[in-house]
Amino acid sequence: MKAFLLAAGKGTRLLPLTLTTPKCLVPISKKPLIEYWFDLFRRYGINDVLINTSHLAEKVKTYISDSPGRLNIKLTYEESLLGSGGTVKKNWDFVKGESSFFICYADNLTNINLKKMLEFHNKHKKDFTLALLRVPNPKECGIVELDESSSVVSFNEKPENPVSDLAFAGIMLSGQNLKNYFPERDYFDLGFDVLPRVTGNASGYIMSEYLLDIGTYKKLEQAEEDIKNGALSAGKRAF
């Protein structure tokens, strides 16, 4: 199975650390963030991974090349960021013909059970499945409304008046129909430009495992403490 791992962000809220370290290589308990994703992919049989790079791309390339044999990794460089959707569009040939594949945001730390999510996806037979989790700050997230059958009724990025506390967790399963929702331009964002339009063709998988957005020093410190307390193995909630 294949996955996009979107990792090109600059990590501006983690300055000055990210002046010299790509966000995806920021260490958490002496282990780069991206390595937690590699562990997760290996655990669930996702062997082919495309990673986009931009800021400090050579450092990501060196890290990958110095650690051979773990996964089949393809790196793609973006001189100018394409956005989460633009990256998938530009590299569509990577998943051409795949019945389903994952798209994951690399700035999250998680131990989500991808096997259970795939089983849910296959059972509900929608074009897309979005991993969701309940959050205390819905105005800061992409918020999803579900009906009683777990179908996505609405998706709104950072709404002023949230209709629920179910946030998109930055992990989704997709099939070939995703390309039908791409705008003609090169740069676009999944959360703002694509996901609000897939309602009716998407299901929401409410995850129960750990997930934390490593976007600030406070979250980085929380991740360190959570790992010490066994959060990744115990499946505790965070966000």
Which pLDDT does position 68 carry in this prediction? 66
| Inter-residue contact 7 to 34 (CB < 8 Å) | yes
Low-confidence ranges of the chain (pLDDT < 50): 236-239
Which pLDDT does position 239 carry in this prediction? 45
Which pLDDT does position 233 carry in this prediction? 81
**Token reading at 228:** 């010490």
Which pLDDT does position 234 carry in this prediction? 56
Tally: H helices and E strands in the chain: 6, 13
Which pLDDT does position 238 carry in this prediction? 45
| Inter-residue contact 7 to 60 (CB < 8 Å) | yes
Rounded Cα distance, 21 and 11, in Å: 9
For the chain, domains (ranges, CATH) are 2-234 (3.90.550.10)
CA-nearest of 131, 128, 149 to 210 is: 131
Q: Residue 153: exposed, middle, or buried by beta-carbon count in 10 A (0-12, 13-18, 19+)? A: middle
Size of the chain, expressed as the number of residues it contains:
239
| Inter-residue contact 141 to 135 (CB < 8 Å) | yes
For a pLDDT cut of 90, what percent of the chain falls above it? Answer: 94
Rounded Cα distance, 68 and 233, in Å: 26
Q: How far from chain centre, in Å, is Cα 83?
A: 13
CA-nearest of 2, 1, 4 to 170 is: 4
